[in-house]
Amino acid sequence: MRPFQYARPDGLDHATQLTAPADTMAIAGGTNLVDLMKLQVETPQELIDINRLTMGEIADTDDGGLRIGALATNTATAAHDRVRREYPVLARAILAGATQQLRNKATTGGNLCQRTRCYYFTNIDQPCNKRDPGSGCGAIKGIARLHAILGTSPQCIATYPGDMAVAMAALDAKVEITAEGDKGRTVPVRDFHRLPGDKPEKDNVLEAGEIITGVTLPGPVEGKQIYRKVRERSSYAFALVSVAAVVAMKDGRISRADLAFGGIAHKPWYDPRLSELLVGEAPSAALFDKAADLLLEDAQGYGENDFKIPLARRTLAATLANATGVEL
Amino acid sequence: MEQDQPATDCKLDQMSQGIIGKPISRSEGFAKVTGTAPYAAEYPIENCLEGVLVTAPIARGKVTSIDVDAGLEMDGVIAVVEDERMIARPAQGTAGEAPVQQPRQVCYWGQPIALVVAETFEQARDATKHLAITFDADDLKDVPFDPHQVEPESQESSSQGDLAKAMNDAPHSIDAHITTTGHASAAMEPHSAIAEWDGNMLTVHSSLQMLNYNIAELADSLDLKEDEIRLVSRYVGGGFGSKLGVSEETVAASIAAMKLNRPVRVVMSRQQVFQCIMRRSETSQRLRLAADNDGGLTGFGHQALVSNLPGESFAEPVLQSSHFLYGGENRLLEMDVARIHRMTAGSVRAPGEAVGMPALEVAMDMLAEESGVDPVELRLRNIPESHPIKGTPFSSHRLAECLKQGARQFGWDGGSRQPRHTREGEWWIGTGMASAARVHNISEAKARVTIKADGTAVVETDMTDIGTGTYTILGQIAGEMLGLPRDKVLVELGDTQFPRGSGSGGSWGASSVGSAVFVACEALRKSLAERAGVAEDKLKLKDGAIQNGVSLVDLLEGEDLSEEGHYEPGDIDDDYVAASFGAYFTQVRVNHFTGETRVERMTGAFGFGRVLNETTARSQCIGGMTWSIGAALTEALHFDPVDGHLVNCDLAEYHVPVHRDVPDLQVIMVEERDPAASPIQAKGVGELGVCGGAGAIANAIYNACGARVMEFPMTPDKVMARMPDD
């Protein structure tokens, strides 16, 4: 761990000033950042501890939705009464991630910003364009078991590792961001994370000096909510593939199909074409196949992760079958 | 004593105290769960410097320069230690001599090459990341990482009759190719040491399994005499083979302490533990089984390819139990070793059987299906009367009993084995079974037992307790023999100031050092009998008194009575084949869509000689069965194909089973006495639980969903790929 300065801001505005310079980073739960600092994957000169800012509230919004403060812990969010009743896909996604001890510390904002688990990213003696732009990608020709099959670039095939954000993408949640001088903006979770392109070092759209203050969920919708995470062991493992689904039926036809995927791309993967294809149709194995064809049209494996293409197909089919009551 | 004959009448069965075998909780358990049992790195030692190992980011080559002067300029850095006595690899188990030294010659990615010593751990760690080092690295094209890339060396080869002909002639035959990935020990406590040098004596607190060998390995590495070294290892946070031999941090800390005349602590990072401590070799195995119409084996072939670094004598002994587990007059057993540049391969929990037995048991399951014989019955029919080649008798053998008792408790019905018989929603449900076998190891050991004038006893040996219950069982043996309750016997372990024990490894600790304690107690009983004026075989000791009511305190008249027990295996293993046996039965569910497998229940029945403590023995069985789940479903080392480095080097990405993966495991201990195994008639149990269990799970996967996977671990991708279409 490199020596670093530590500062505690007086308020949110102060926090945005302190985090504006390069080489500063905000720290909340620290469940990812501290590990990466020990490995010197992250080497901030100054840490801005935002834990004492009052951003932990979970509250109803005027339009019937729910606002989850950036510092609300994963445990608190997953246990919140309205989350459990009205947004169960979010509660289940959070509980599918990490361990109880980690969820007690991990926060909403921090979880959105967690970094990839690519083996080459976390090993500073290996090339990685995300950690060290221009150094190359060790994973493309290496062990790509955890890696992406959609939206990759020749620079980077890393995945976003989280679960919470996948559910939030299905729910079409919005990320509230503030910057110095009260310059705020709101970004849909679906657009918050980026594809790697030729700037894999940038995971998401957050700029220096910007701080996530909360995430807003729209009012609850009808339908069945499912979070399905495929992994080797039943806890404390990142998703090989995950699906968050909010699916409703009306008169034997699908009336809503909001689907997001984890473990297959640099961001929670949301493809609006799936909803267009599925809504208005009667559910069937053939329809689910068509949806998978569309989802995986441009999918590309890198050897070790080739299995994710059939796995995503089968997991999607199983999830849709479960949501619509079709027997496969 | 040297054991050349079976010990048929064992005194332990004739004593009066009644504590041997009883389910007594580990005596150090409270200290461990309350955090008051100090592990190696936790001893509060004043003025201690912190060392962090510098490792090489190249697969093979030479270190050409280390900029020590620039290193010394860094914050807090006291020294950059590079010394050709530092070891480049851990010592193999029971080596008793220095492993490969001269760390400037790099043989694997992540090899330690130097040590940075600083005032604080953070300073030392930071300096290691910025130290300027130049390498003359070999062209990666010339460095083999894949065992299939190189021409292997023959490690062992034996044959009898004509296997090819037997395969050809047999009505039923199986020819199966099965692979297993590499494993890491994955002990919780990282390898760590604190070394102190007073100018004459080197004292090292380290996390080690076999101090009796480790002291010789350290002495040889440092060019010191053994009597100039004291090793202390009172509590070990898991070893699983990875702490059998002395490893890089202990030697580096010792050298630094001697150079700097200050105590130095070196703790490996989790990544370093994965990258430079022993791995279990991956294996490629071919099983050939030929059987008559009734499933009786006429041919038995087991071939394996394993790997290690050049210069290492250890080769994963995959075939170890295949030599004697099942019959078949035409036999071929061959093993080759490929020399590749991954980190050192060595002993990782149950070397050999942990990967050889699951493969064999998958082949047996295939033969059961092919021949139409129930899998339990197939195994019962193929238990040999004696060693299939040597003809020597078994010292004791409870495989049949384990198969029968296990089947009964599990509810194995012996009915149709047609796969895909039960589906609940997305999940296929099926059952499978396998045999367990593990060779019996035993070693020379010494222990001193003293009856103090106050009527308590002390057991002293440099034996370690790696969490297995050694403190407790040695107290039970001494207490039983001397007529003392368990809490009147103090057991002192893990310090080379005590007589040399056996060390913990190869499941041999209990029978080896337990026998040494037993021998010491026999001598003490003789002395006591003389003092009491009775014949030794008439001496009845219970609760600190002899039969006439005279207490030990009165009998000793203020003196301590001390004896050193010395046990040596002798040549009894020429006359008997000694092994532990067992059977596993399991039910799994397999997801039709994703191939995810979850173990629903598992029963293990094991016969391993005398049970010294029901609780600790059961815990050992449960631990082994848990590792079986890991070997079956999740555990795999992944090596980069370009430079051979280990990519998944932490516990987040190297997947051992978590609590949710482990159902309530049922253990049946099929107790027996094995007079030829040891004077206390006990065999090893530590590893038995992992010697085949993964095969039972693999067979249950097949029975559930029809996917016959030939690669361990059977991760969702592999099961899904073999899942039959509807």
- Beta-carbon separation of A311 and B634 below 8 A: no
pLDDT of B445 higher than 80: yes
- Beta-carbon separation of A232 and B633 below 8 A: yes
Tell me if B326 is assigned to some domain.
no
Please tell me the pTM assigned to this model.
0.98
Tell me if B154 is assigned to some domain.
no
Residue A247: CB atoms within 10 A of its CB come to 25
Please report the number of interchain residue pairs, chain A to chain B, with beta-carbon separation below 8 angstroms.
102
The shortest CB-CB distance from B648 to any of A119, A124, A307 is to: A119
User: Looking at the structure, do residues B107 and B239 belong to the same domain, yes or no?
Assistant: yes
Task: Tell me the pLDDT tens digit for each residue of B393-430.
Answer: 999 999 999 999 999 999 999 999 999 999 999 999 99
User: Looking at the structure, do residues B618 and B559 belong to the same domain, yes or no?
Assistant: no
User: Picking from A66-75, A177-186, B221-230, B564-573, which range would have the lowest pLDDT averaged per residue?
Assistant: A177-186
- DSSP string for B514-543: HHHHHHHHHHHHHHHHHHHTS-GGG--EET
A225 in contact with chain B, both atoms CB, cutoff 8 A = no
Closest to B401 measured CA to CA, from B435, B350, B439: B435
Please enumerate in sequence order all residues whose Cβ is within 8 A of that of A277, keeping only pairs 6 or more positions apart, or say none.
A287, A290, A291, A294
User: Looking at the structure, do residues B606 and B553 belong to the same domain, yes or no?
Assistant: no
Tell me if B301 is assigned to some domain.
no
Please enumerate in sequence order all residues whose Cβ is within 8 A of that of A261, keeping only pairs 6 or more positions apart, or say none.
A166, A241, A242, A243, A244, A268, A269, A270, A295, A312, A316
In chain A, residues with a C-beta closer than 8 Å to the C-beta of B648 are 119, 143
Tell me if B161 is assigned to some domain.
no
B31 in contact with chain A, both atoms CB, cutoff 8 A = no
Number of domains in chain B: 3
pLDDT of B680 higher than 80: yes
Alpha helix ranges (H) inside B411-500:
470-482
Q: What is the mean pLDDT of residues B618-645?
A: 98
pLDDT of A3 higher than 90: no
Token readout for B544 is 């600190």
- Beta-carbon separation of A232 and B634 below 8 A: yes
What is the distance between the terminal CA atoms of chain A, rounded to a whole angstrom?
52
Last residue within a domain, chosen from B243, B259, B276:
B276
Buried b (16+ CB within 10 A) or exposed e, B449-466: bbbbeebbbbbbbbbbbb
A230 in contact with chain B, both atoms CB, cutoff 8 A = yes
Tell me if A316 is assigned to some domain.
yes
User: Looking at the structure, do residues B433 and B484 belong to the same domain, yes or no?
Assistant: no
User: Looking at the structure, do residues B505 and B619 belong to the same domain, yes or no?
Assistant: no
Q: What is the pLDDT of residue A2?
A: 82
- Beta-carbon separation of A143 and B642 below 8 A: no
Tell me if B155 is assigned to some domain.
no
The Cα–Cα gap between A135 and B128 comes to 21
Question: In the annotation, is B687 catalytic?
Answer: yes
The Cα–Cα gap between B483 and B544 comes to 6
User: Looking at the structure, do residues B436 and B358 belong to the same domain, yes or no?
Assistant: yes
Tell me if A175 is assigned to some domain.
no
Closest to B720 measured CA to CA, from B293, B368, B355, B426: B426
Please enumerate in sequence order all residues whose Cβ is within 8 A of that of B520, keeping only pairs 6 or more positions apart, or say none.
B447, B448, B449, B563, B564, B565
The shortest CB-CB distance from B598 to any of A234, A240, A241 is to: A234
pLDDT of A182 higher than 90: no
pLDDT of A183 higher than 90: no
Task: Tell me the pLDDT tens digit for each residue of B632-665.
Answer: 999 999 999 999 999 999 999 999 999 999 999 9
Residue numbers of the domain that contains B482: 11-34+443-568
Residue A100: CB atoms within 10 A of its CB come to 11
Residue B158: CB atoms within 10 A of its CB come to 12
The Cα–Cα gap between B550 and B543 comes to 11
Tell me if A194 is assigned to some domain.
no
Tell me if B146 is assigned to some domain.
no
Last residue within a domain, chosen from B225, B252, B276:
B276
ipTM score for this prediction: 0.97
DSSP class of residue B394? B
Q: SS3 string of A139-206?
A: CCCCCCCCCCCCCCECCECCCCCCCHHHHHHHCCCEEEEEEHHHEEEEEEHHHHECCCCCCCCCCECC
User: Looking at the structure, do residues B552 and B647 belong to the same domain, yes or no?
Assistant: no
User: Looking at the structure, do residues B486 and B514 belong to the same domain, yes or no?
Assistant: yes
CATH code of A237's domain: 3.30.390.50
Buried b (16+ CB within 10 A) or exposed e, B479-495: bbbbbbebebbbbbbbb
Closest to B499 measured CA to CA, from B148, B215, B105, B272: B215
Tell me if A162 is assigned to some domain.
no
Rg (CA), chain B: 26
B47, B263 contact by CB (below 8 A): yes
Residue numbers of the domain that contains A298: 224-324
Bridge partners, B719 (sequence order): none
Tell me if B488 is assigned to some domain.
yes
Q: For B721, which residue in chain A has the nearest alpha carbon? A: A307
Last residue within a domain, chosen from B568, B584, B603:
B568
A102 in contact with chain B, both atoms CB, cutoff 8 A = no
Tell me if A121 is assigned to some domain.
no
B222, B254 contact by CB (below 8 A): yes
- Long-range interactions of B412-421: CB distance < 8 A, separation 24+: B412/B376, B412/B585, B414/B374, B414/B376, B414/B377, B417/B368, B417/B369, B417/B374, B417/B375, B417/B703, B419/B702, B419/B703, B419/B704, B419/B705, B419/B706, B420/B704, B420/B705, B420/B706, B420/B724, B421/B703
The Cα–Cα gap between B265 and A304 comes to 40
Note if the bond before B713 is cis, omega within 30 degrees: yes
DSSP class of residue B694? H
The Cα–Cα gap between A115 and B480 comes to 58
Closest to B365 measured CA to CA, from B3, B700, B725, B664: B700
CA B554 to chain centre: 45
User: Looking at the structure, do residues B460 and B489 belong to the same domain, yes or no?
Assistant: yes
In chain A, residues with a C-beta closer than 8 Å to the C-beta of B59 are none
Task: Tell me the pLDDT tens digit for each residue of B291-350.
Answer: 999 999 999 999 999 999 999 999 999 999 999 999 999 999 999 999 999 999 999 999
CATH code of B406's domain: 3.30.365.10
Closest to A165 measured CA to CA, from A221, A87, A94: A94
Number of domains in chain A: 1
Tell me if A280 is assigned to some domain.
yes
* Residue tagged 């899904």 (tokens): B720
Task: Tell me the pLDDT tens digit for each residue of B37-72.
Answer: 999 999 999 999 999 999 999 999 999 999 999 999
Tell me if B321 is assigned to some domain.
no
Alpha helix ranges (H) inside B223-291:
248-260, 270-276
User: Looking at the structure, do residues B224 and B234 belong to the same domain, yes or no?
Assistant: yes
At residue B459 the predicted structure's pLDDT band, cuts being 50, 70 and 90, is very high
Please enumerate in sequence order all residues whose Cβ is within 8 A of that of B344, keeping only pairs 6 or more positions apart, or say none.
B89, B90, B92, B108, B276, B278, B279, B308, B309, B312
The shortest CB-CB distance from A314 to any of B129, B593, B649 is to: B593
User: Looking at the structure, do residues B30 and B45 belong to the same domain, yes or no?
Assistant: no
Task: Tell me the pLDDT tens digit for each residue of B681-717.
Answer: 999 999 999 999 999 999 999 999 999 999 999 999 9
- Beta-carbon separation of B126 and A3 below 8 A: yes
User: Looking at the structure, do residues B396 and B540 belong to the same domain, yes or no?
Assistant: no
